[in-house]
Amino acid sequence: MGARYDESFRRSIDDAPDFWAQAAALVEWVTPPTTILDDTEAPLYRWFSDGVLNTCVNALDRHVESGNGDRPALIHDSSVSGEVTRFTYAQLLTKVAAFAGALTTEGVQRGDRVVIYLPMVPEAVIAMLACARIGAVHSVVFGGFAPEELAARIDDAQPVVVLTASCGIEGTRVIEYKPLVDAALLIAHHRPRRTIVLQRPYATASMTDGDIDWAQAVSAATPADPVPVDATDPLYIIYTSGTTGRPKGIVRDNGGHAVAMAWSMRNVYGIGPGDVWWAASDVGWVVGHSYIVYAPLITGATTVMFEGKPVGTPDAGAFWRVIHDHQVKALFTAPTAIRAIKKEDPTADMLAEHDVSSLQSLFLAGERLDPDTYEWATQHLGVPVVDNWWQTETGWPIAANLRGLDPLPIKSGSPTKPVPGFDVRVVDESGADVGADHDGSIVIRLPLPPGSAPTLWGDDQRFVDEYLSAVPGHYTTGDGGYFDADGYLYVMGRMDDVINVAGHRLSTGAIEAVVAAHPSVAECAVIGVHDSIKGQLPRALVVVKSGLNPDPQELAGEIAASVRERIGAIASLKDVLIVSALPKTRSGKILRKAMRAIADGRDEPVPATIEDATVLVSIAPLLRDPTTGSS
C-alpha cells in the first residue's frame, strides 16, 4: 500500500510534462498538444498550449458518438418540488446544442462572457455546457450573493448576456432572482446585450426591454455545433473572496481543466463511466463546477444534481433518500452539511429508514473536517470518509487519499497526502521548510498542475502579487498547517482574512467595509469565530464614534441588515458586539492576526505595547466564546 501513490507522485514532480502528457490521453483533442508545459512566461505557466479541443464535446458528444447516448448523464432531484428529472447523454446534448444555438443567436461568440445567476436547476448545467460548446466563457455567480456583489462581477467579466430565472427556493421560501438581477444591472456600469430569463412555476418574472424568455430563445434557435478552442482559452471565470473586498476572477482554461477533471475523477474519487456520483454542493461554487458538472460528465458517469438542503426539506433524511433513490456510489459534500444532519438526527435514525448500501465512500471538503464529524459519519455510514483539501484557485484536490489510484490508511484530521502534481511544502516566513510536526504556511512549488488557475481575469499582475510573490517560485495557498512524520498533511485554517461559513468562502475585509460604512461605527474588525454547525461565523467587533451611544441591539440589527443587503444572506453576520477599543500596531493597524489566532485557539503573537496587550486581553473572551450572542 502506498507504492503506486509514491511512484505516481514522484513522476508527477520529477517529470511533470511526461506525466501530464500521458494523462492528456484521457481527453479527446481536435489537435493533440505537442507542447505540454509552456514556461516562457514564468511564473505564469500554461499547459498543452498548442492543443485544440472542445470541453463540451468531451463532456457529451464523445459519449454519444461512442454508443453511450442512452446512459443517464444528469439526474436532477429537487426536494423542494418533489420532482426528479433525468437526462441521458443524448438528451442532454440535444438541450445543450439548442441552448448554444440560442446564445449564438443573441450574438455570443467565442471568447465572449456569459454571467449565469441561476438556482440549482438543470438549465444551469445546460447553460454552462452551452457556453463551453461555442467557446464562450461562463461566470456562474452563486445565488446567495446580493445585487451589489453580482454587479461587481458583471463589471469585471463584462458579459454579452446574463442568464437568470424567475426564482430559486431556499427551504420553503421562494426567492425571486429577476429583481436581484435588475437591481444589479442598475448598479453595474457594464450593459449586457440581453438577459435570458427562465420562468419557473413558483414565481413569474416581469420582463423589461432587453429581456427574453428562455423557452422562446431556444425555440427560435438552430442547434450549434461545437467550436474548437485553444487549450489555453478560458472556459470559465469563477469569482472568489480574497483578503480585500474586491473579488478575484479565477480563470480556468479548457485543456488543462479537462485533463485534471478526467484524471481526478478516476484517480482521486475512483469514479468511472456509468457510476452514479453525487456532489451535494451548488453550481455557484468551485465544487459544483468541477464535480457536479465537468468531471463526472467528462468521465461518462451519471451526476446527481440536488436542489434542497440536507435538513428541513423535508427532514434530516433527505441525503439518505437521494442516495437510495438513485443508487449513489459516492457522495461529496461539506462537513457542515453532515454536522447539520447530525444535529437534527444525532443517532442517525433517519439513515435506518433508507437503504444506502450502494454508497461506497463519502468525500468531504470545503473546510476542515473536524474529528467529531469524521467519527460520526464513519460510524453511521460504515464507509471510508475521505477528507480532501483544495481551493477555488486549484479547481481540484491538492491533498487527498487517492481512492482510485492507491487508497492509503485514513488518519482523522488529515486530508492524507499531496495529490500528484502538487509539490506541497510547509514553510516559515523566510520560505524555509519547518520540518515534520511544525506549523507553517502551506505553499506549492510552481508550476501548479493542469486545471489550476493560470491567472486572474484581466489581471496577471494581481495573480503574481497575491499568490506568487511571498515565496519565490511558489504558490501561497493562504492556509496554515503541518506535515506529520509519515508525510500526512494537516490543514489547520486560513492565515489571512478569508473565513469559511457553512462551506462558503467569505472575505472578512468585504464584510468590514460594509460594517465600517454604518454612520455610528468609528472602526471595526470582523473575525471568524467557531460555530458548531457552520464551522465559522463572522463576528463584528465595533467601536462606536465618540459622543454616540446607540442601542446595541438596534445597531446590531442595522449592521446585520446592511451586510445581508450588500453582500448577501450567506454572509450570515448576526453577531455584532460593541467594544471600547481594538488592539492596534504602533502604526495604528488593527491587530487582526492576533485576534484571529485567539479565535482559532492558537498561540497569539504578543502585541507591541502594554496598552495593546491589555485591549487584546479584554476582547479575548469575545473571540474565544462561540456562544456569545448578538448584543
* Least distance in angstroms from the C-beta of 550 to ligand AMP: 34
Report how far residue 390's alpha carbon sits from residue 240's, in angstroms, rounded to the nearest whole number: 13
| Cβ-based nearer residue to ligand AMP, 54 or 240 | 240
* Least distance in angstroms from the C-beta of 308 to ligand AMP: 21
Instruction: Choose from ligand AMP, ligand COA, none: what does 494 bind? Cβ within 5-8 Å by kind.
Output: ligand AMP
* Least distance in angstroms from the C-beta of 388 to ligand AMP: 6
- Residue 252 binds to ligand AMP (criterion: CB under 6 A): no
User: How many residues interact with ligand AMP (rule CB under 6 A)?
Assistant: 20
Task: Specify whether the CB–CB gap between 61 and 93 falls below 8 A.
Answer: yes
* Least distance in angstroms from the C-beta of 333 to ligand AMP: 12
**Grid cell digits, residue 77:** 432531484
* Least distance in angstroms from the C-beta of 494 to ligand AMP: 5
Instruction: Choose from ligand COA, ligand AMP, none: what does 144 bind? Cβ within 5-8 Å by kind.
Output: ligand COA
> Among 136, 59, 56, which residue's Cα sits nearest to residue 104?
136
* Least distance in angstroms from the C-beta of 366 to ligand AMP: 5
3-state secondary structure 459-515: CHHHHHHHHHCCCCCEEEEEEEEEECCCCCEEEEEECCCEEEECCEEEEHHHHHHHH
Of these, 55, 264, 373, 392, which contacts ligand AMP (CB under 6 A)?
392
- Residue 316 binds to ligand AMP (criterion: CB under 6 A): no
Instruction: Choose from ligand AMP, ligand COA, none: what does 388 bind? Cβ within 5-8 Å by kind.
Output: ligand AMP
> Among 229, 232, 266, 262, which residue's Cα sits nearest to residue 25?
262
- Residue 283 binds to ligand AMP (criterion: CB under 6 A): no
Instruction: Choose from ligand AMP, ligand COA, none: what does 389 bind? Cβ within 5-8 Å by kind.
Output: ligand AMP
What is the contact surface with ligand COA in residues (CB under 6 A)?
143-144, 168, 170, 175, 281-282, 285, 287, 309-311, 333-334, 336-337, 340, 366, 501-504, 569-570, 572
- Residue 367 binds to ligand AMP (criterion: CB under 6 A): yes
- Residue 508 binds to ligand AMP (criterion: CB under 6 A): no
- Residue 478 binds to ligand AMP (criterion: CB under 6 A): yes
Task: Specify whether the CB–CB gap between 272 and 129 falls below 8 A.
Answer: no
* Least distance in angstroms from the C-beta of 246 to ligand AMP: 16
Report how far residue 400's alpha carbon sits from residue 365's, in angstroms, rounded to the nearest whole number: 10
Q: Beta-carbon neighbour count of residue 144 at 10 Å?
A: 18
> Among 214, 240, 253, 221, which residue's Cα sits nearest to residue 127?
214
Of these, 55, 333, 336, 388, which contacts ligand AMP (CB under 6 A)?
388
- Residue 491 binds to ligand AMP (criterion: CB under 6 A): yes
- Residue 290 binds to ligand AMP (criterion: CB under 6 A): no
- Residue 163 binds to ligand AMP (criterion: CB under 6 A): no
Of these, 365, 385, 555, 594, which contacts ligand AMP (CB under 6 A)?
365
Instruction: Choose from ligand AMP, ligand COA, none: what does 336 bind? Cβ within 5-8 Å by kind.
Output: ligand COA
Task: Specify whether the CB–CB gap between 528 and 329 falls below 8 A.
Answer: no
- Residue 366 binds to ligand AMP (criterion: CB under 6 A): yes
| Cβ-based nearer residue to ligand AMP, 500 or 572 | 500
| Cβ-based nearer residue to ligand COA, 364 or 555 | 364
Residue with cell 460528465: 297
Strand partners, 395: none
Instruction: Choose from ligand COA, ligand AMP, none: what does 424 bind? Cβ within 5-8 Å by kind.
Output: none
> Residue 166 carries which DSSP code?
S
Q: For the chain, what is the radius of gyration of the CA atoms?
A: 24
- Residue 125 binds to ligand AMP (criterion: CB under 6 A): no
Which positions from 230 through 249 interact with ligand AMP, judged by CB under 6 A? 240
| Cβ-based nearer residue to ligand COA, 144 or 449 | 144
| Cβ-based nearer residue to ligand AMP, 392 or 441 | 392
- Residue 391 binds to ligand AMP (criterion: CB under 6 A): yes
Task: Specify whether the CB–CB gap between 597 and 526 falls below 8 A.
Answer: no
* Helix/strand/coil percent split, the chain, to 5: 35, 25, 40
Q: How far apart are the first and last CA of the chain?
A: 54
Task: Specify whether the CB–CB gap between 306 and 322 falls below 8 A.
Answer: yes
* Least distance in angstroms from the C-beta of 281 to ligand AMP: 10
The CA-based angle 525-244-529, given to 5 degrees, is 40
| Cβ-based nearer residue to ligand COA, 224 or 369 | 369
* Least distance in angstroms from the C-beta of 365 to ligand COA: 6
* Least distance in angstroms from the C-beta of 425 to ligand COA: 26
* Least distance in angstroms from the C-beta of 535 to ligand COA: 9
Report how far residue 85's alpha carbon sits from residue 182's, in angstroms, rounded to the nearest whole number: 29
Fill in the per-residue mask, 414 to 453: x = in contact with ligand AMP (CB under 6 A), - = not in contact: -x--------------------------------------
**Grid cell digits, residue 57:** 464535446
Which positions from 571 through 600 interact with ligand AMP, judged by CB under 6 A? none
Task: Specify whether the CB–CB gap between 164 and 200 falls below 8 A.
Answer: no
Instruction: Choose from ligand AMP, ligand COA, none: what does 226 bind? Cβ within 5-8 Å by kind.
Output: none
* Least distance in angstroms from the C-beta of 440 to ligand AMP: 15
| Cβ-based nearer residue to ligand COA, 170 or 428 | 170
Strand 161-165 and strand 113-117: the pairing is parallel
DSSP for 296-353, written as a single string = HHHHT-EEEEEES-SSSSS-TTHHHHHHHHHT-SEEEE-HHHHHHHHHH-TT-HHHHT
Of these, 282, 479, 575, 600, which contacts ligand AMP (CB under 6 A)?
479
Determine the interface stretch with ligand AMP among 191-199, 367-375, 445-453, 591-599 (rule: CB under 6 A): 367-375
Task: Specify whether the CB–CB gap between 53 and 461 falls below 8 A.
Answer: no
Instruction: Say which residues have a Cβ less than 8 Å from residue 443's Cβ, sequence separation at least 6.
Output: 424, 425, 426, 427, 431, 470, 471, 474, 475, 476, 477
- Residue 268 binds to ligand AMP (criterion: CB under 6 A): no
Report how far residue 392's alpha carbon sits from residue 257's, in angstroms, rounded to the nearest whole number: 13
Side-chain-side CA neighbours of 438 within 13 Å: the count stands at 10
| Side chain identity, residue 348 | A
Which residues lie near ligand AMP (CB under 6 A)? Answer: 240, 286, 365-369, 387-392, 415, 478-479, 491, 494, 500, 505
